[in-house]
Structures are given as structure tokens and as C-alpha cells.
Structure 1
Amino acid sequence: MKLSRRTTAVAAVAGVAAIALLATGCSSSGDSGSGSSDEKVELTVTTFGTMGLDDLYKQYEEENPNVTIKATNIDTGGNALTDWKTKQAAGAGLPDVQAVEEGWLGQVQAVSDSFTDLTEYGANDIKDRWVDWKLKQGTDKDGRIIGYGTDIGPEGLCYNSKLFEAAGLPGDREAVAELFGGDDATWDDFFKVGEQYKAATGKAFYDQSGFVWNAMVNQLPEGYYTSDGELNVEDNADLKAQWDKLAGGAAAGLSSGQAQWDWGKGKAFTDGSFATFMCPGWMLGVVKGQVESAGGDATSGWDFADVFPGGPANWGGTFLTVPTTSKHPKEAAALAAYLTDAKSAVAAFQAAGTFPSVIEAQTDPGVTGESDLTKFFNNAPIGEILGSRAEGVVAQYKGPNDSVIQEQVFGPATQSLDKGASGDDAWNEALTTLQSLDLK
């Protein structure tokens, strides 16, 4: 996922039908399951990033022997968006099940009639499984449910306890949370601790400015768009105030200036290039994978704290949709429902740290208990921390070009900060780019 990517109330999922679905391993109701036919069907699926679904494909094929799944995973959400837009414009080549990232929702909703209305295949029978704001995001203006939610992205702070302790800072995760201000943590606190770390070690504190900026934007009541859909960048005083703080951190040498999504095959996570990292749930699997790619393991020192500068934040979250070009919409809808039921949501979390948008899954022992991820992150109670970080998150309205602004406008500008540009110069660079794109 690129910078656009994957709030909560805990309650029981109601309905005997939902219980029956979990018991049988089929997640849609009525006649929407693909197992009702002996016709051999191949379903294509396009996802991106680390979603934790691979083993579920195999399981579904075993439970539905008439179905073969051909899955394609694209490396980042930004590249997946380009792939979708290209095929959408051509009217051909789209898969039966298309993963859509939160940051694309504005673009997807603009052409929502090109996605299957999942209420035709049992969506109304299972709509209570999701937190309400996630269901609302996946519903178009005409009340058509076009996307089943997979994960949400509440953010906590990944940090390297060994590097912290070497700098004279606490390594214990509870003490780290207090170091940043606990429930009252601010970005000022974050940058202040970063300056202490820099003074003690001479090294950068976070990997690059782009991910920090993404978190800052997502915390605002209104980001690049107002809640009624108007572009909201140039005269957005709240946005500019956050930018000035980010610029101050870069000027103090707190950013390692890493290329986004390229950490030298994980080496930057193991060689002390930086000590903190912005971590929505789905990013935990990325961190683990990067460390292991560089030959590291659980002893590398990475941990996960129940704290986040500036308060609750959500980065990303994905939906599974069925384009109307699918020749097998019934079977595709059944697969999408299966991949987003409580049992599957737990399995995806255990595989990739993707925190469920499914209410029942959020308190499942498979989410709150031990897993390979918890072991990697120094036995951190990851599910409990993410549940805590999800409290108070409010879904921010994402306009039609939200991801474009994040990547094409502020992506280069944050890189300029990391290369030494002043805050004002980089901000003006972003505004110039925005004006040249003539977005709405």
C-alpha cells in the first residue's frame, strides 16, 4: 500500500444465520454460496500489500471443490489503484473480486454502478457483522452495498527497544507509552523525544516524513477534503500547522529519509537507521517481513506500544468488491463474504496483523491472544493494543482524489523535506503541484 491505505464498538454479532455460516465455513446466506452448483468456476481475485488471505483461498477451494481461485497480489496500494483505473477505463480485465483501499473510495464511489450490488447476494443478511462506519463506507449514495470490509487500520507505535535503551530511553512498552504522553500523547511530545534520541545517538528517529504526514492528516476532522466533498488543502490552517511540525522534525534530522516502501530488503530495520515506525495493524506484518528479509528475527528489538502521537488515527483498510464485469457474480459475492467473515478475519489477522472490521472477530482469542506476530514483537498483546487504539477513531471523509493528493502532491513534498528543503518551500511545492493537476 502506498500512503493512502488499511472506531470501533465491541458487540456481539446478532443472528442465527451468522452463527450457522461460521459453523459451516460459508459466509453468505441463502442461495448465495457457490457450493449450490456443480458447475466448475474459476474466480480471479486481485489484492495488494499484505492482506493475509492466501491460506483462506486454499481453504475455500477445499470446501467448494467446484471453485478454483486465481489470485493476483500487487505490491502496493498505489500500484493496485493504477491497475484498477487502467482496467476500469478499458472496461475489461477486471477480476471477479477486486480489493479496494480506503483511499480510493472517492473514485470507486464515483463509478459505483460498475460494482455489483451485494444486497442481491445476501449482503443484508450479514451487514451487522461490521462496525457501522465500515459498512457505511462500503455503501454508495443509493444504498447499494458494493464492498465487504476486511480490515481497519488503527495506529500504534512500533519502536526498537534495544535502540531506545542504548539511547538512555526506556525500552518497556508501558514506559514508552508514558514517555510519549500516554493518552495525551502529542506530536510535540513525539518530536521532543526524537530530539533526545538524536542528541544521544546522532541517528534519525523515524524512517521518513511521508508516513508521519499520512498519520497527521488522517487525525484531522477534515483532511484533503471537507466532509461535504470540497477540496480542502490551500487554506487549511490545521493542515499547514501539522506540516510546520513535520518540517521542524525533518530540519532537526529526525527523518532517516528512507524511500517509501523500500528499506533495502529490510536492512534499514536491522541496522539502526531509525528507531520508530508508524504502525497501523496491517503494517506489523510488513515490519516482521522486512526484518526477516534482512536476516533478523524477534531478537532484533522491535516492539509495539499502546500509544500514538496526536491521539486515535486510522490508516487504511480494505474492501472486497465484485465488478459488474464478473461472469460469476453470485460465486464471487460468496467468496468475498467468506473472506470477510469472523473466522476468516481472525485468520487474516494472525497471518498479517490486519485488525478486523468484523465486530465478532475483534474480541476473538485468535486476535487478542498469542500469535507469530505477538512473539515477534516481544510478546506484545497486539490485538488488545489495536483494539485500544481503535477507540475514538472517526472515519475521515476521503474525496475522489484523496490518494492522488497524498501520493502525487505531498509525496514529493515530504521527500523534499527529507532532502533539506524548508517547510515553506516544500509546502509551496505541494500547492504548485496541486494547482497543476487541477483536481476537484
Structure 2
Amino acid sequence: MKLSRRTTAAATIAGAAAFAMLATGCSAGSGSAASGDEDITLTITTFGTFGYDDLYKEYEELHPNVTIKPTNIDTGGNARTDAFTKLAAGSGLSDIVAIEEGWLGAIMEVSDRFVDLNDFGAQDIKDRWLDWKFEQGTDADGRVIGYGTDIGPTGLCYNGKLFEEAGLPSDRAEVAELFGGADASWDTYFELGAEYTEKTGKAWYDHSGFVWNSMVNQMDEGYYTSDGELNIEGNSEMRDRFDQLAEATLNGQSAAQTAWDWGGGKAFVDGSFATFVCPGWMLGTIKGQLEAGGGDASTGWDFADVFPGGPVNWGGAFLSIPTTSKHQEAAAELTAWLTAPEQQVKQSKAAGNFPSTIEAAETIAEESAPNELFNDAPTGAILAERAKGVKAQFKGPDDSVIQENVFGPALNLLDQQEATADEAWQQAMDLLQDLVIDN
């Protein structure tokens, strides 16, 4: 299948299982490619913070004939660029490739470039995953092209020390009530933000882009309708949310930080902002940023079981095998093993993300392990609560392009106080026309 003009253009633009089962029902350690005599080297490309380093070592110890050569790309957007550049070239992809939910729709347009995991026992293990997660990795022809790693239930990260300085409660249960508990709304969030900025002269959130992504993900239908049509122009609900965010940002609630940088992590340490939207996988990102910026548990960050507007899923990933892999059976075994419940529990502890398999999610919730970096918050148990009511939103082929390259520049204008809400929205519509509709 040829890449469409839209997909090729987007490529230049830059997240519960036991051991692997073969179609026969045999385990990965019994008569499988990974346990044979042939020495096999498997390459895998991930992005962000996946928490797989120790799991690679464990798998190699269990399978002495297998050597894993990992590559990790800094962000999901850059991973998309890498994947589509190599798809266009017809070579260079790893044996296993991590795919982020935001660009899964684009991958589905070229799903025949990926191995059908039904050929390696996918139907035998499908009940490990949440139904919607397994369905997300299945194309229109019923081919399973990816096993789910994590999902993105979202809570609110906040800096307890900054809250106290502003006269706000810092106890996470009281913070949840402050925002409205089960009835938490964006109205309340921005009202509290206005109060905070007035008292302190400091920003409420890091930048507008992540807040916007959360607001859009809460809609029944986001940038695309459920039947795959663009859903932006003339969408009054989306425009209302944009205007609400624009008003808060233009009134000083945004710290105008650069996404994925935050001044080398220093903004998480120096009090630049007090709240942060936190899907589970973002906890690992914050950990890395705090360490890079010289912060630690004493910096004051905490995690509350609340989120404005209610449940939302942001992100989550899949492991897929390109048809160019010369070791498809062995790659399928490793993919199933890495996404198994036992391994998802270990991954969650290493990276802070939340499992997509039912058994692993239950384990994380039951253990309620304290997260030292977040004031000993039981982050796993909180994410399990935040996962209740989460539904997967349909992601179209240019979903991540729209988020990052259509609305990203427009929101940056707001962050920099360089445009009105009308002007910023119009820039987004112009970019939508240029980058998506005309392509």
C-alpha cells in the first residue's frame, strides 16, 4: 500500500497478559522461537518513558539465545516522524515498534505493513485487555496489529507547597474536594487559577497545549467523528472550550513553557506553575524532569484523585511488528511477554504509567504503593479510580498532526500573549486547511 499524500506529509512532522502464547496454546518457553538454539537479535523502538530496561534484561535471562537491541526516541511526535519516514522508505523499522494512540489512526491507513498478530495467537489472549484497548489495535479487516501497553487515565498533579503559600489546602483529599470532587469542572479549575495568579503573580499551568489536549479528549467526539470525518470547523462545543482556555491563558494562568522541555526541568522546581495535567505515563516524565532540574520529593509535587470535566484518557501505546521483520515469530513472543500482566505491573512501577490489561490494573490498584516523589501518593490506586468511566475516543489519521501542528502554534500565540482568541482560532483553521484538508 502506498502512503497517502496526507500521511507522507505528516511523516515530516513531529505514549493483561501472562507469558506469550502461540496459536497452539504453548507458552513462549516451550518450543517457541525465543527458546530455540538459534541466536536471535530483536530490535525494538519505543519513545518517552516506557520502563522496559529491566524487562529486557529479564527476558534475555529467560531466553539466552535472544539479544534485545532497544532504541528509545524522546517524544511520541518524533517517534511518529521516525516511523513514517521509514515506512515511506520501505526499510529501517525495528522488529517491534511502539505506536502512540494519537497516531494510531494514521498507522491504520497502512495497517498491511504490520504483522497480523492473529497469526500468533492474539485471539487466545485477547481477554487480557480492556475490550476497547484490544479493539483499538484491530484494523477494519479484523487484523490485530498491536498489543496494548498502557492507557492514559488522568489525574491532577499539583504542588502542595505552592498551594499552601497561596492559602489553598495541600492535602490531596481536600484538594480533590476543592476542585469539586466527582463534579470537578473546567469552570472551577480556571476560577481557582484566577485566584491563584492574583494572589501569587505566578502561573497556574505550564502551557496551554496540554490543557487543551485534555479538554478535547473529554469530548464524545474529538478532532474526528466516530465515523472518521473531520469535526473541527463549525464545532461550537470545541470553540467554546478553546475560548475558555484562551481567556484563562490571556489572563496570565499559563507559564508559556515549551512542551517536553520545561527549561530542562527547572520549571518543575522553581515554582513556575502550580498544577499539571497528569495521565499516568506523565508521572514518569515528571520524574525525569524533576531529576534533570535538581528537584526531588521535597519539591512539593503531589497527585490528586480529581480532574476537571471528569474522566479522560490521554494516550497509551501499542507494540506492533512491521512485516519487514525477519524474526516475526520471536518478535511476537517478546511483544506478548512485554505486554503481559506481570510485566505491565513491573512497567507501571518503573515508569508510572497505568496498565491496559485487566489483571495488571487490579494488581496496581490493590497494592496502592506509595510514590515517594509525589508525597507518597498511592498513584496506582488513584489512576485506577481515574480509569473508571474512561472511554476511548476515535482518533483519525491526522489526530496528532492536528493537536501538535494545527492547534499547537495557535495555542503558543495565546501563551505568548500575541493573539486574541479569535486570531488564534483563525490561525488554527488556516493551518488545518494547509496541513490536513489540502493534503
Do Structure 1 and Structure 2 share a fold, with TM-score over 0.5? yes
Per-residue CA deviations over 1:255-304 (Å, capped at 9, x if unaligned) read 00001111112110010100000100000011122112122111110000
Whole-Å Cα distance in 1 between the matches of residues 334 and 366 of structure 2?
A: 22
Runs of at least 4 residues off by over 4 Å: 25-29
Per the TM alignment, residue 368 of structure 1 is displaced from its structure 2 partner at its CA by: 3.4
Q: Is the 8 A contact 1:118 1:333 kept in 2?
A: yes
CA distance in 1, matches of 2:312, 2:193: 20
Q: Is the 8 A contact 2:33 2:329 kept in 1?
A: yes
1:9 maps to none
% identical aligned pairs: 61
Tell me which residue corresponds to 1:195.
Answer: 194
The answer to whether residue 407 in structure 2 is matched with residue 417 in structure 1 is no
Q: Are 1:369 and 2:368 an aligned pair?
A: yes
Map Cα deviations across residues 379-429 of structure 1 (whole Å, 9 max, x no partner): 111111101111111110000111111111001011011011111110000
On the 8 A contact 1:349/1:355 being kept in 2, the answer is yes
Structure 2 runs not aligned, ≥5 long:
1-12
Aligned partner of 1:427 in structure 2 is: 425
Aligned partners of 1:97 and 1:323 also within 8 Å: yes
Map residues 27-106 of structure 1 onto 2, 5 A cutoff.
Answer: 29-30=25-26, 33-106=32-105
Amino acid in the other structure paired with 1:389: R
3-state SS of paired residue (1:315):
strand
Q: CA RMSD in A?
A: 1.6
Say if 2:394 is the partner of 1:394.
no
Count of residues paired in the alignment:
420
Contact conserved, 2:196 with 2:202, CA < 8 A, in 1?
A: yes
What SS does the aligned partner of 1:149 have? strand
Shift of 1:438: 4.0
TM-score normalised by the chain length of structure 1: 0.93
- Where does residue 403 of structure 1 map in the other structure? 400
- Look up the match of 1:297: 296
State whether residues 365 and 381 of structure 2, in contact with CA within 8 Å, keep that contact through their aligned partners in structure 1. Answer: no
Aligned mates of 2:230, 2:108 — CA distance in 1: 17
How far 1:123 sits from its partner (Å)?
A: 1.1
Deviation of residue 365 (structure 1)?
Answer: 4.9
**Alpha-carbon spacing, 1:240–1:401, altered in 2? closer, same or farther (3 Å):** same
Are the aligned partners of 1:5 and 1:101 in contact in 2 as well (CA < 8 Å)? no
TM-score by length of 2: 0.93
Query: What secondary structure does 1:79 align onto?
Result: helix
1: CA distance, partners of 2:20 / 2:111: 26
1:74-223 superposed matches below 5 A: 74-223=73-222
Counterpart Cα distance in 2 of 1:156 and 1:80:
25
Distance (Å, rounded) in 2 between the aligned partners of 1:216 and 1:109:
25
Whether the 8 Å contact between 1:225 and 1:232 is mirrored in structure 2 is yes
What's the offset of the Cα at 1:27? 5.8
Give the distance between the partners of 2:77 and 2:255, measured in 1 at CA: 22
C-alpha deviations, 1:136-162, integer Å up to 9, x for none? 000111111110000000000000000
Counterpart-to-counterpart distance in 1, 2:50 and 2:61: 20
Per-residue deviation, 1:198: 0.6
Aligned to 1:355: 354
Alignment of 1:252-267 (within 5 A): 252-267=251-266
The whole-number CA distance in structure 2 between the counterparts of 1:257 and 1:149 is 33
Letter in 1 for 2:196: Y
Residues 287-326 of structure 1: matches in 2 within 5 Å? 287-326=286-325
Q: What letter matches 1:411 in structure 2?
A: G
- How far apart are residue 366 of structure 1 and its match? 8.0
Structure 2 residue matching 1:256: 3-state secondary structure: coil
In structure 2, relative to structure 1, the CA distance for the partners of 1:173 and 1:160 (3 Å cut) is same
